[in-house]
């Protein structure tokens, strides 16, 4: 198995395991397809930083014209560290922005704040007044559109913590229309993640565009519509036509926004990076316990928590296949939790201790959600560009983990 022109075995020898490996070529290909899918429509692809916030990946995307969707001040710090000139292409989402985060974003000159409550809008106005900097904002409206996805990543219904009831939005825009420190710049929507059908996106945008027309008639013209992210991938292997999926998505948005001449913002994250990444692990033991067979690896739930957290599926394949029939196994890690698994009752080709396996489609919400549980240093990350591989994050050491802690108090 290779990433680009480089074998995963070579990368594992050079950088050790567990190891995250990413393909720069595939990341840029996905970005390009999104950028071209909407034809002549003014579109800005704002990559969702939370999916994978590696500085090298942010710099790569920024160099090819991407904007960024952030949900914390820390993510803004990352964007500015990777691409200092990208602040004007940043949208700030999230339900709990702090005054300090707002100040930092205002001083940095971001594109807009996606505001998720009336209380947040009033706080933003106060911070903008104190800094004497006008804040461009978009209300994140909740269109009450159902999207078939995992309940933990569904966000478009009234019972969710995200967004403002779309029926309240017109009154809220009117209530701040005269505020000298707030600029109604756009409107935002995000109905969830890992959504495989384009239909819910179109339905949400139809409702949003209706509100935009109402605002225009009320003398509050907006410059942008932020369609959010959430377009899903296929984690189960097999053929997957990414370009066809993106064009289906673009067509649904275009039809919903027929006649709209403003700017369209979209916030893909998973779709850009997930299938460009893999977690490479080494088999430690193959253990028989009653009727169960366990393949125990040196990677664990702290490295990739999605299977334990969401019961998410990742294809798992030997890096160098052996002859023999597949066996039904559980693929697990060494963490002291029964929930430390990558797959249960999965058909896997034969492996023995020392073999390498690859957990596919791990470029999104892998390293980004990793932890140091059980005092385990997090993996290294490698970015492959054509025939070159470069280390973009070194493997953590125990010294790194212990460094922030204070053992004794001063007298």
How far is residue 93 from each of residues 83, 178, 290, 375, measured CA to CA in Å? 19, 24, 49, 32
| 155 vs 56, residue with greater confidence | 56
| pLDDT, averaged across the chain | 94
Measured over all CA atoms, what is the biggest interatomic distance in the chain, rounded to whole angstroms? 73
Query: What's residue 149's pLDDT?
Result: 46
Phi-psi region of 34 (alpha: psi -120 to 50; beta: other; left: phi over 0): alpha
Report whether pLDDT(186) > 80: yes
Angle, helix 73-82 to helix 55-63, in steps of 10 degrees: 60
Q: Render pLDDT for 219-261 as a digit per residue (tens, 0 to 9).
A: 999 999 999 999 999 999 888 999 999 999 999 999 999 999 9
Residue 217, classified by CB atoms within 10 Å of its CB into exposed (0-12), middle (13-18) or buried (19+), is exposed
Query: What's residue 148's pLDDT?
Result: 54
Report whether pLDDT(152) > 80: no
Report whether pLDDT(155) > 80: no
Query: What's residue 145's pLDDT?
Result: 79
| Residue 296, phi then psi, degrees to nearest 5 | -100, 125
Structure confidence at residue 134 as a pLDDT band (50, 70, 90) = very high
Report whether pLDDT(263) > 90: yes
Per-residue b or e along 92-102, where b marks 16 or more CB atoms closer than 10 Å to that residue's CB: bbbbebeeebb
Q: Render pLDDT for 20-73 as a digit per residue (tens, 0 to 9).
A: 999 999 999 999 999 999 999 999 999 999 999 999 999 999 999 999 999 999
Contact (Cβ atoms closer than 8 angstroms) between residue 112 and residue 88: no
Contact (Cβ atoms closer than 8 angstroms) between residue 82 and residue 55: yes
CATH architecture observed for domain 24-271? Alpha-Beta Barrel (3.20)
Q: What is the 3-state secondary structure (H, E, C) of 260-328?
A: CCCEEEECCCHHHHHHHEEEEEEEEEEEEECCEEEEEECCCCCCCCHHHHHCCCCCEEECCCCCCCCEE
Q: What is the percent of the chain where pLDDT is above 90? A: 92
Query: What's residue 156's pLDDT?
Result: 41
Contact (Cβ atoms closer than 8 angstroms) between residue 57 and residue 36: no
Contact (Cβ atoms closer than 8 angstroms) between residue 355 and residue 320: yes
Q: Render pLDDT for 319-370 as a digit per residue (tens, 0 to 9).
A: 999 999 999 999 999 999 999 999 999 999 999 999 999 999 999 999 999 9
Instruction: Give the H or E element holding residue 80.
Output: helix 73-82
| 65 vs 163, residue with greater confidence | 65
Query: What's residue 239's pLDDT?
Result: 85
Token representation of residue 129: 């007044």
Contact (Cβ atoms closer than 8 angstroms) between residue 226 and residue 138: yes
Residue 393, classified by CB atoms within 10 Å of its CB into exposed (0-12), middle (13-18) or buried (19+), is middle
Neighbours of 368 (CB within 10 A): 15
Structure confidence at residue 409 as a pLDDT band (50, 70, 90) = confident
Which residues are designated catalytic?
Answer: 336
Residues 6+ apart with CB under 8 A from 150: 194, 310
Same fold, 24-271 and 275-393: no
Helix, strand, coil % over all residues of the chain, rounded to 5:
35, 25, 40
| Separation CA 299–CA 296 (nearest Å) | 9
Report whether pLDDT(154) > 50: no
Q: Tell me which residue of 1, 14, 56, 42 sits closest to 363, measured CA to CA.
A: 56
Domain 275-393 bears CATH identifier 2.40.37.10: yes
Domains of the chain, by residue range, sit at 24-271, 275-393
Q: What SS3 class is residue 45?
A: strand
């Amino acid at each position: 198995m290779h990433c680009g022109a480089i074998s995963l075995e070579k990368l594992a020898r050079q950088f050790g395991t567990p190891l995250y490996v990413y393909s720069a070529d595939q990341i840029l290909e996905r970005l390009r397809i999104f950028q071209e899918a909407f034809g002549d429509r003014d579109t800005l692809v704002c990559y969702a930083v939370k999916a994978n916030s590696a500085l090298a990946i942010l710099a790569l995307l920024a160099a090819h014209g991407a904007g960024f969707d952030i949900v914390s001040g820390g993510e803004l710090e990352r964007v500015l560290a990777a691409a200092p000139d990208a602040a004007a292409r940043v949208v700030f989402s999230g339900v709990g922005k702090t005054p300090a985060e707002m100040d930092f974003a205002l001083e940095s000159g971001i594109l807009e704040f996606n505001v998720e409550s009336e209380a947040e809008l009033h706080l933003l106005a106060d911070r903008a007044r104190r800094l004497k900097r006008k804040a461009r904002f978009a209300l994140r409206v909740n269109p009450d559109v159902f999207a078939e996805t995992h309940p933990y990543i569904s966000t478009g219904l009234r019972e969710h913590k995200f967004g403002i009831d779309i029926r309240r939005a017109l009154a809220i825009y009117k209530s701040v229309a005269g505020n000298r420190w707030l600029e109604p710049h756009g409107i935002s929507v995000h109905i969830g993640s890992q959504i495989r059908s384009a239909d819910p996106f179109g339905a949400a945008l139809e409702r949003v565009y209706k509100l935009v027309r109402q605002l225009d008639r009320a003398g509050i013209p907006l410059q942008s519509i932020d369609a959010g992210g959430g377009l899903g991938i296929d984690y189960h292997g097999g053929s997957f036509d990414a370009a066809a999926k993106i064009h289906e998505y673009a067509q649904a948005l275009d039809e919903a926004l027929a006649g709209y001449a403003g700017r369209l913002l979209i916030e893909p994250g998973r779709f850009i990076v997930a299938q460009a990444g893999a977690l490479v692990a080494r088999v430690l033991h193959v253990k028989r316990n009653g009727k169960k067979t366990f393949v125990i690896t040196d990677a664990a739930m702290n490295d990739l928590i999605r299977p334990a957290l969401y019961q998410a599926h990742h294809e798992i394949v030997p890096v160098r296949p052996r002859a023999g029939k597949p066996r039904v196994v559980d693929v697990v890690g060494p963490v002291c939790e029964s929930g430390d698994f990558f797959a249960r009752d999965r058909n896997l080709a034969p492996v023995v201790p020392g073999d390498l396996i690859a957990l596919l489609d791990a470029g999104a919400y892998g390293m980004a959600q990793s932890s140091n549980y059980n005092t385990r240093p997090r993996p290294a990350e490698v970015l492959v560009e054509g025939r070159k591989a470069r280390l973009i994050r070194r493997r953590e050491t125990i010294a790194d983990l212990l460094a922030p802690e204070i053992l004794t108090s001063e007298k």
